[in-house]
Amino acid sequence: MTGLPQDKSGEARSISSSKLAIVRKHPIFCDLDADAFDQLCRYAKHTTLKRGATIFSKGDPGNSLLVVISGTVKISVSSAGGRSAILNLIGAGETFGEIAVLDGQDRTADATANADCELFVIDRREFLPFVRSHPALAMKFIELLCTRIRWTSDQVEQVILQNLPGRLASALIRLTEKHKLTPQGRSIAITQQEISEMVGMTRESINKQLRVWATRNWVRLEHGSIVVLQAEPLEALAEAGGDEVN
């Protein structure tokens, strides 16, 4: 795996122990009994990465499952001509790398630290026997993969069928749906260039549309982030495919 140091020090193990509650809250792991969870945690190695660091690249061996403790990980693909498409942003408490770990094939995309990150890394050689001994855990991973397939299917549908406002509204809703909106809104740590790579439009088009929504007080633009202030009109726009709704 590219760029991931091995956890060899007692200090690193101590840091890992202080972060285990984040793993415990994940829907996949929350129902494990205490002994099984302790066993899983013994497999987890803690590592930190700076923004921009490569975690793995498309085509690399799928030799570990990863859990984000803090920061954000960008999952993307690139063309030979240099174009890039962002498939997902993985935040704290989420896992990634499941597909290659479970089927034993190569990585299907690039994973990059989109901010300074802390990760837990669980080696495939230890993880697979653990999953085989806990059938309920295997079912939860099946559910997770189904969720990821639905996410990808929605993205393809939006790119084919929706215009720019619909694609952008759908992307913002997807990025905020895991979090409850507060009176101050929900901040998404994403640049306009990154969201343009997610919806397949130019940065200039994204900026123009976001500024229109900012005047309506649907969003607020900040350096390196977008704050969703009102989800309802964006949801209505996404459902309408991008056409304005009354």
CATH number at residue 169: 1.10.10.10
> Do residue 174 and residue 152 come from a single domain?
no
Q: What gap in Å lies between CA 162 and CA 157, rounded to an integer? A: 8
What are the residue ranges of helices labelled H in the chain?
A: 10-18, 20-24, 34-43, 98-103, 124-132, 135-161, 164-176, 192-199, 203-215, 231-239
Tokens of 70: 């803090």
Q: Is 188 a domain residue? A: yes
pLDDT per position as a tens digit, 115-173: 899 999 999 999 999 999 998 898 998 998 898 888 788 877 777 777 889 999 988 98
pLDDT at 25: 83
Q: Is 46 a domain residue? A: yes
> Do residue 98 and residue 25 come from a single domain?
yes
Q: Is 2 a domain residue? A: no
Reference 151, options 182, 178, 117, 124; nearest CA is 178
Burial 148-169, CB ≥16 within 10 A → b, else e: beeeeeebeebeeebebbbbbb
Q: Is 229 a domain residue? A: yes
The strand order across the sheet containing 45-49 reads: 45-49, 117-123, 64-70, 95-96
> Do residue 149 and residue 190 come from a single domain?
no
pLDDT at 91: 87
> Do residue 52 and residue 174 come from a single domain?
no
Q: Is 82 a domain residue? A: yes
112 to each of 58, 59, 92, 230, how far by Cα in Å? 11, 14, 14, 30
Q: Is 122 a domain residue? A: yes
The pLDDT averaged over each successive group of 10 residues in the chain (246 residues) is 48 54 84 88 90 95 93 90 86 90 92 93 93 90 87 78 87 78 74 90 94 95 90 89 56
Phi, psi of 158 (to 5 degrees): -65, -40
Instruction: Domain of residue 72: give its range.
Output: 10-157
